[in-house]
């Protein structure tokens, strides 16, 4: 079974590439983030033609997550149970479903903006709500994983130059402690194996030739429980999909399971 996660940075802008990628890779379930469209604008018909069902949590031109599956979609939960609001709004940042033999969450963790910003406190509260929401599934016997754009680099090895991020979001002790709390619930980081480079980054800013210079970050993560991680045969970043005109600033992270 092939499962992937991808921050597409607008599904409308990325649709031709997305459809071609699904056809060429044979992905069974794809967790999407930053769809940037309302639910009624989501291209469900085009995906259905390829054999995929869709579960969508999206409200407009910001945020938005989805699960698209050709392995089934059951017991869909839209939103983060117990999740915090930001400025009075419950943002569309989480969706979960059972896809054949696995239970999956697609999440788009708040960016945090700046450490002194209200959005940073919101980010930490959101991650704590995520920990509580996934605890029972993580402890179960069914293969289970949380995939998505966490907007946190787990270690200094996951940032191209840690010194440049000192005092900034994505690398603070509190954010990394939130990931550690997820691991304490029985989830492990399914780290992609290196392909072209030693550091399997997943995000490269569009500016300053960051991608050609491989000045990136690993912030798109897969956190799985023991039944999930023991089934992993391979995991890698599809760096080729970050190349060329019209690419997202994130690359897909692919996990192959023997189930």
Q: Which of 28, 52, 108, 201 is catalytic?
A: 108
Q: Which of 28, 52, 122, 250 is catalytic?
A: 250
Residue positions forming the annotated binding site for Mg(2+): 7, 34, 149, 151, 249-250
d(CA 144, CA 137): 7
- Give the tokens for residue 199: 């550091």
Residue positions forming the annotated binding site: 7, 34, 149, 151, 249-250
Question: Could you confirm whether 250 is annotated as catalytic?
Answer: yes
Q: Which of 28, 137, 149, 158 is catalytic?
A: 149
Question: Could you confirm whether 119 is annotated as catalytic?
Answer: no
Question: Could you confirm whether 199 is annotated as catalytic?
Answer: no
Catalogue the active-site residues. Answer: 108, 149, 250
């Amino acid at each position: 079974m092939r499962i992937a996660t991808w921050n597409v940075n607008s599904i409308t802008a990325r649709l031709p590439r997305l459809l071609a990628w699904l056809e060429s890779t044979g992905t069974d379930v794809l967790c999407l983030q930053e769809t940037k469209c309302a639910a009624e604008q989501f291209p469900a018909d085009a995906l259905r033609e390829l054999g995929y069902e869709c579960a969508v949590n999206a409200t407009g031109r910001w945020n938005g997550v989805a699960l698209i599956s050709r392995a089934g979609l059951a017991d869909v939960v839209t939103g983060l149970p117990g999740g915090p609001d930001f400025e009075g709004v419950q943002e569309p940042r989480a969706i979960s479903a059972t896809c054949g033999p696995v239970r999956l969450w697609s999440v788009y963790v708040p960016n945090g903006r700046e450490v002194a910003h209200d959005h940073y406190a919101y980010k930490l509260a959101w991650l704590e709500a995520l920990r509580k929401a996934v605890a029972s599934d993580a402890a179960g016997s069914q293969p289970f994983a949380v995939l998505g754009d966490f907007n946190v680099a787990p270690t200094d090895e996951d940032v191209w130059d840690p010194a440049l991020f000192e005092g900034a979001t994505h690398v603070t002790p509190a954010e990394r402690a939130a990931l550690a709390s997820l691991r304490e619930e029985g989830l492990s980081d399914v780290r992609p194996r290196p392909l072209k480079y030693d550091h399997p980054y997943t995000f490269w800013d569009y500016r300053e030739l960051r991608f050609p210079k491989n000045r990136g970050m690993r912030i798109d993560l897969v956190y799985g429980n023991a039944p999930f991680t023991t089934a992993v045969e391979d995991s890698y970043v599809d760096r080729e999909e970050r190349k060329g005109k019209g690419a997202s600033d994130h690359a897909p992270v692919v996990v192959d399971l023997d189930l």
